[in-house]
A = this chain, B = another copy of it.
Amino acid sequence: MRKIFHRRRTLRDVALAAGVSISTASNALNETGRVNIETRDKVKRIAQEIGFLPNALARSLLSKRSFTIGMITNDTYGRLTLPMAAGVSEALVDHGISVFLCATNNDQRLATSHLQALLEKQVDGIIFTATRLDLEPPVELLNLPIPVVYVFAQGPNQNVSFVPDDAQGARLAVTHLKRLGYSRIVHITGPQDYLAARIRAETYRESCDRSPEVFFGDWSEDWGYVATEKVFSQGGKQPDAIFCGSDEIARGVIDALRDLDLSVPNDVAVVGFDNWEVISRQTRPPLTTVDMELKELGRQAGLAILALTRDEAIDTGIQRLSCSLVVRESCGAEGSHPQV
C-alpha cells in the first residue's frame, strides 16, 4: 500500500479562506484579543469546515508548555503500574495533558534513553513509579529542569512521593479479624527484604495481642500453600485466621485449607492484600482483602504534577494514602458483624 495523505490544514489556510490575517484567525479561534463577533464566528466555522487542528508543536514551542508528561516505570507494564497510570490519565485528561508511559524493565540504559527522549520532547513533568517502595530511583531524576513526582516509590525529601499506607492497611485487616472474634491469627507474607512486607508484618505484630506468628516467603501461590500446610502440621492450638501479605498467597492458602478439609471462613478466615481482582474475586470463596487504592494514588500524583507544572506550591515528602478493606466471603461478609 502507498497512500497519499493530504497536507494538514494550517492557520494560514483558515485565514486565507476567511479573508483575514493569520493573527486575527488566531485571536478568533482562541477568543483572545479583540475580534468582531461576526468575524470570530466566520473564522470558527471555516476552521471547522476545512478540518483545521492547531499544531500543538508550534504552540508548545512558543508557550514552553507541551501539555505532556512522562511516566517512567521501572517495571515491565504490570499490574501495579497500570491502575496507577489509569489514575494519572484520569486526573490529567480534563486538562488536555497526555501521558507518555515508559517501561524500563529495570534496565538502566533503557531508563536513561527514555528519560532523554522525554526531556527532548519537552514534557512538563515526570512521574516516576516502581513496583516496590524500597528501590532507589535513578539519580538522573535529581536535577531536572522540570518537576518530578514519585508514586509507589520514594524520592528525595524535597519532592512529593505518594505511597500506600501499608501499616494502616495491615491494621485494617487485623482489626477486622479481631472485631469478628478471631483471635489466633497468623501472618503469611512475602520476602522479608521487601519493605512493604516488613511494615505489614510489624503492624500485624503490634496489633495482635497474643503470640503473633509471621512467615516470610515469597509472593507466590505456592508459598501460601506450603506455608499453610506447615502451620497446620505443627502441634498446639491451631489458628482460626490467616492474614496474607498478598492475594496470590491467599489463594494458595485457601487451596491448602480446602485440601485440609477446613472450611473458609467457618473454620479459618482468610484476608488478603492487593485486591487484585483476577484473583480476589475468583477464589472460592471470594477474598476479603486490602485494596491499596492504586488508581487514587495515580490520581493524586497526576494532580500533584499538574500543580507543579503550574508553579503552585504543594506539600512535599512522603504522603501515605489510606488503603481500604474490601469485604468478601472469605471473612466477614455475612453481614452479621459490623463492617469497617
Bound Cα distance from A334 to B315, whole angstroms: 59
Q: Are A98 and B86 in contact (CB under 8 A)?
A: no
Bound Cα distance from A77 to B102, whole angstroms: 14
A146's partner among B5, B57, B100, B248 (CB-CB below 8 A) is: B5
Q: Are A101 and B103 in contact (CB under 8 A)?
A: no
* B residues in contact with A96, CB < 8 Å: 117
Q: Are B54 and A1 in contact (CB under 8 A)?
A: no
A60's partner among B2, B57, B82, B313 (CB-CB below 8 A) is: B57
A1's partner among B221, B278, B313 (CB-CB below 8 A) is: B313
Q: Which of A287-315 contact B (CB under 8 A)?
A: 308, 311, 313-315
Q: Which of A1, A99, A284 has the most CB of B within 10 A?
A: A1
Q: Which of A307-336 contact B (CB under 8 A)?
A: 308, 311, 313-316
Bound Cα distance from A311 to B160, whole angstroms: 44
Bound Cα distance from A55 to B123, whole angstroms: 11
Q: Are B93 and A86 in contact (CB under 8 A)?
A: no
One digit per residue, 1 when the CB lies within 8 angstroms of any chain B CB and 0 when it does not, for chain A 143-161 equals 0111100000000001110
A58's partner among B61, B82, B117 (CB-CB below 8 A) is: B61
Q: Are A313 and B5 in contact (CB under 8 A)?
A: no
> A interface, how many residues as a size bin?
35 or more
* B residues in contact with A222, CB < 8 Å: 282
Q: A110 contacts the other chain (Cβ, under 8 Å)?
A: yes
* B residues in contact with A284, CB < 8 Å: 255
Q: How distant is A30 from chain B, measured CB to nearest CB, in Å? A: 13
Q: Are B113 and A93 in contact (CB under 8 A)?
A: yes
Q: How distant is A303 from chain B, measured CB to nearest CB, in Å? A: 14
A121's partner among B85, B98, B251, B308 (CB-CB below 8 A) is: B98
Q: A207 contacts the other chain (Cβ, under 8 Å)?
A: no
Q: Which of A79-111 contact B (CB under 8 A)?
A: 82-83, 85-86, 89, 93, 96, 98-103, 110
Bound Cα distance from A99 to B284, whole angstroms: 40
* B residues in contact with A114, CB < 8 Å: 93
Q: Are B110 and A93 in contact (CB under 8 A)?
A: yes
Q: Are B68 and A76 in contact (CB under 8 A)?
A: no
Q: Are A2 and B103 in contact (CB under 8 A)?
A: no
Q: Are A1 and B93 in contact (CB under 8 A)?
A: no
The verdict on A100 contacting B103 (CB below 8 Å), with A6-B145, A121-B57, A122-B56 known, is no
Q: How distant is A108 from chain B, measured CB to nearest CB, in Å? A: 15
* B residues in contact with A34, CB < 8 Å: none
Q: A119 contacts the other chain (Cβ, under 8 Å)?
A: yes
A selection of 20 A-B contacts at a CB cut-off of 8 Å is A1-B158, A2-B313, A3-B147, A6-B145, A8-B145, A53-B116, A53-B120, A57-B57, A57-B61, A61-B61, A68-B121, A77-B82, A77-B85, A82-B82, A93-B110, A98-B100, A98-B102, A220-B282, A248-B282, A255-B284
Known contacts A1-B314, A61-B61; 18 further A-B pairs (Cβ under 8 A):
A2-B311, A3-B147, A5-B145, A5-B147, A53-B119, A55-B61, A55-B120, A56-B120, A57-B60, A57-B121, A57-B122, A77-B82, A86-B103, A98-B117, A99-B100, A248-B278, A255-B284, A278-B279
